[in-house]
Chain A
Amino acid sequence: MPVLSIENLSYAYPNAETPALNDVSLSVNKGEFVVICGPTGAGKTTFCRCILGLIPHFFGGDMSGKVIVLDTDTRDIQPSRLAAKVGLVFQNPEDQLIAMSVEEELAFGLENLGLPRDEIKKRIDESLNLVNIVELRDRPPSELSSGQQQKVAIAAVLAMNPEILVLDEPTSMIDPKSALDITQFLNKLNKERGVTVIVAEHRLENLVSFADKIVVINKGCIVQTGSPREVFASDNLLEIGVAIPRIIQLASRLKKAGIKIDNLPLTVEEAFSILRRAL
């Protein structure tokens, strides 16, 4: 059952010469883990904004086609009302952090949902624990490092218990170990609680083994959709600026050189066993 269905979506920002998205169609099923990749400026952020209805409601511009989220046309609902079910983590955390302390930041969205006090407290504790930032509870978000702010932004969205989680380069500023923790956590949320996860990312190494579907966007168009193995078998991804994980690149090169490789590896373990058989 699709929780998100995008039909022939085209969009241009106000006064833009060229459209940011051009006739994009995509269907995402409940519980899918989708990774959106593509070079800078391809339209990934615009795509995320459309899912939440920030386009067209906040950004104006010229939109055609349809975005249906959880059976509602985004044109017919205010983004603030969608926010209870669809969580968005922005690329730049400074764009979404407004409160005087991390705790208040997390409480803000929950208070807007009208939740009882002890439920709010419980959810805040849970989220801070999940993202591992309990010690930042009383600090002002504006004084935190970019990576820490990014974690706060993720915690604030998680606290809302969304059915669909949309993350725009959520770990770009976070150190690799915390980034790995967060991607593993997204995987857990997806597999155990059935939350639909849509992540736009440049750094694909940690994500590919979790992804059901990879969507490649270039110049406002979807140029490929498929399982990680299907999509990464194509060489022109590197040419358009998508960083195929190096172990996959290595396997592709070896395959071309005549080494017997049936399936592209998505993990180190897979790569090792493929090479052990092949050598």
Chain B
Amino acid sequence: MPPFIVVHDLYFSYPNYVTALQGVNLNIDKGELMAIMGENGAGKTTLVKHFNGLLRPQSGSVTVDGIDTRNATVAELSTRVGYVFQNPLYQLFSETVEKEMMLGLSGVNLPDSEKKNRVDEVLIELGVERFRNRHPLMLSEGERKRVAIASVLVMDPAVIALDEPTLALDYTEKRRLGGVIERLHNEGHTIILVTHDVEFAFDLSERIVTMSRGKILADLPKEKVFNGEASLDAAGLVEPQLFQLARRLKALDVHISDFSVEGAFAGVMKRVKRSKGK
């Protein structure tokens, strides 16, 4: 099966501004869960906006589900690729959260009762059900972010691209979002995370793409990035403390392969048991 998204030698620049993308090549398979990471202004958002036709290639090409995005409408592409903006204000227009959800579904051919069920499910899953009748502008940043994510999920697109989804979310909300992303991935959705949040990206995704100055620096399985085959520093990222600790602990014969607290705990306890056994 050919990749679902194929980016070939893509160039893009904004008016009066430096080139935002300089020859990007990338394939994304159906069902992948991957993260695109890099410094501010690296071109991450510009790249992802090409996937649902918000931007069109100036040179090179982007193919989504076999469709060249230059020959497709945003409406055609948006049923395939859902994009959650970094700033939720750019995508929330309605007077209430519920109307916002229904707006997205207005072009979808489904009975009203089914639409309502979908809206209910998504709002409950993201913990924003109680804001159903509130104006999106009256919500806090974190609440609004979750509503924006809900408004894309309700459309059930094959590919879901989330631009800085953890911004303004606290620990509990992040964990909840992580659970939702895992569920979507298990159901076969393709998930693209655009994020600075190294812990969040490594907890969830299998593949890490790093970018800097409009180019892809590395495209590797996360274990290889952790093992130092790609520099996070070069992409404006910082290794989380737990990574740094895990690497140093190798000298004490402690081996950690999962970067959650549970994973690190298990790694240390294994070593404790081994030394007791001696």
Complex CA gap A177/B240 in Å reads 11
Given the known A-B contacts A172-B167, A176-B237, are A250 and B172 also in contact in the complex, defined by CB atoms under 8 Å?
Answer: no
Number of B positions contacting A (CB below 8 A) = 46
**In the complex, chain A residues 258-279 whose Cβ is within 8 Å of any chain B Cβ:** 259, 267-268, 271-272, 275-276, 279
> Which residues of the other chain, A, contact B252 by a CB distance below 8 angstroms?
275-276, 279
- CB-based contact A275/B41 at 8 Å: no
Complex CA gap A169/B261 in Å reads 24
> Which residues of the other chain, B, contact A177 by a CB distance below 8 angstroms?
39, 233, 236-238
Given the known A-B contacts A172-B168, A173-B167, are A268 and B40 also in contact in the complex, defined by CB atoms under 8 Å?
Answer: no
- CB-based contact A243/B171 at 8 Å: yes
- CB-based contact B171/A242 at 8 Å: yes
> Which residues of the other chain, B, contact A243 by a CB distance below 8 angstroms?
170-171, 174
Does A143 count as interface, using CB distance less than 8 angstroms?
Answer: yes
- CB-based contact B171/A39 at 8 Å: yes
Complex CA gap A28/B39 in Å reads 35
Residue in contact with A250 in the complex, picked from B141, B168, B171, B264, CB distance below 8 Å:
B264
Residue of B nearest to A151 (CB): B40
Does A1 count as interface, using CB distance less than 8 angstroms?
Answer: no
- CB-based contact B242/A272 at 8 Å: no
Contact with B along A6-35 (1 / 0, CB 8 A): 000000000000000000000000000000
Complex CA gap A276/B199 in Å reads 24
Interface size class of A (residues with CB under 8 A): 35 or more
- CB-based contact A272/B249 at 8 Å: yes
Does A254 count as interface, using CB distance less than 8 angstroms?
Answer: yes
Q: Which of B92-100, B109-117, B151-159, B265-273 contacts A (4 or more CB under 8 A)?
A: B265-273
Does B178 count as interface, using CB distance less than 8 angstroms?
Answer: no
> Which residues of the other chain, A, contact B171 by a CB distance below 8 angstroms?
39, 202, 238, 241-243
> Which residues of the other chain, B, contact A238 by a CB distance below 8 angstroms?
171
Complex CA gap A271/B249 in Å reads 10
Does A126 count as interface, using CB distance less than 8 angstroms?
Answer: no
Complex CA gap A247/B268 in Å reads 12
> Which residues of the other chain, A, contact B233 by a CB distance below 8 angstroms?
177
Does B74 count as interface, using CB distance less than 8 angstroms?
Answer: no
Does A130 count as interface, using CB distance less than 8 angstroms?
Answer: no
**In the complex, chain B residues 54-91 whose Cβ is within 8 Å of any chain A Cβ:** 86-87
**In the complex, chain B residues 158-189 whose Cβ is within 8 Å of any chain A Cβ:** 164, 167-174
Does A205 count as interface, using CB distance less than 8 angstroms?
Answer: yes
- CB-based contact A205/B241 at 8 Å: yes
Given the known A-B contacts A250-B264, A275-B249, are A259 and B236 also in contact in the complex, defined by CB atoms under 8 Å?
Answer: no
- CB-based contact B143/A41 at 8 Å: yes
- CB-based contact B39/A279 at 8 Å: no
- CB-based contact A250/B268 at 8 Å: yes
Does B27 count as interface, using CB distance less than 8 angstroms?
Answer: no
Does B221 count as interface, using CB distance less than 8 angstroms?
Answer: no
> Which residues of the other chain, B, contact A271 by a CB distance below 8 angstroms?
241, 245
Complex CA gap A245/B167 in Å reads 17
- CB-based contact A253/B261 at 8 Å: yes
Residue of A nearest to B256 (CB): A250
Residue in contact with A279 in the complex, picked from B87, B140, B241, B254, CB distance below 8 Å:
B254
- CB-based contact A40/B40 at 8 Å: no
- CB-based contact B173/A275 at 8 Å: no
Does A187 count as interface, using CB distance less than 8 angstroms?
Answer: no
Does B227 count as interface, using CB distance less than 8 angstroms?
Answer: no
Complex CA gap A8/B198 in Å reads 39
Residue of B nearest to A92 (CB): B141
- CB-based contact A241/B261 at 8 Å: no
Does A196 count as interface, using CB distance less than 8 angstroms?
Answer: no
- CB-based contact B261/A246 at 8 Å: yes
- CB-based contact B261/A178 at 8 Å: no
Contact with B along A124-146 (1 / 0, CB 8 A): 00000000000000000001011
Complex CA gap A169/B141 in Å reads 12
**In the complex, chain B residues 165-221 whose Cβ is within 8 Å of any chain A Cβ:** 167-174, 196, 198-199
Residue of A nearest to B42 (CB): A175
Given the known A-B contacts A41-B142, A143-B17, are A246 and B173 also in contact in the complex, defined by CB atoms under 8 Å?
Answer: no
Residue in contact with A246 in the complex, picked from B45, B142, B264, CB distance below 8 Å:
B264
Given the known A-B contacts A275-B252, A275-B268, are A246 and B236 also in contact in the complex, defined by CB atoms under 8 Å?
Answer: no
Residue in contact with A241 in the complex, picked from B173, B236, B260, CB distance below 8 Å:
B173
Given the known A-B contacts A247-B242, A272-B248, are A40 and B143 also in contact in the complex, defined by CB atoms under 8 Å?
Answer: yes
Question: Could you jot down 25 A-B contacts, CB within 8 Å?
Answer: A39-B170, A39-B173, A40-B141, A40-B169, A41-B140, A146-B87, A169-B168, A172-B168, A175-B40, A176-B236, A177-B233, A177-B237, A241-B170, A246-B199, A250-B261, A250-B264, A250-B265, A253-B261, A253-B265, A254-B269, A259-B272, A268-B245, A268-B248, A276-B252, A279-B271
Binding site for A on B (CB under 8 A): 17, 38-41, 45, 86-87, 140-143, 164, 167-174, 196, 198-199, 233, 236-238, 240-242, 244-245, 248-249, 252, 254, 260-261, 264-265, 268-269, 271-272, 275
Known: A40-B142, A40-B170, A91-B141. 17 other contacts (CB 8 A): A40-B141, A145-B41, A146-B40, A148-B40, A176-B238, A205-B240, A241-B171, A246-B241, A246-B260, A250-B245, A250-B261, A250-B264, A254-B269, A268-B245, A271-B241, A272-B245, A279-B271
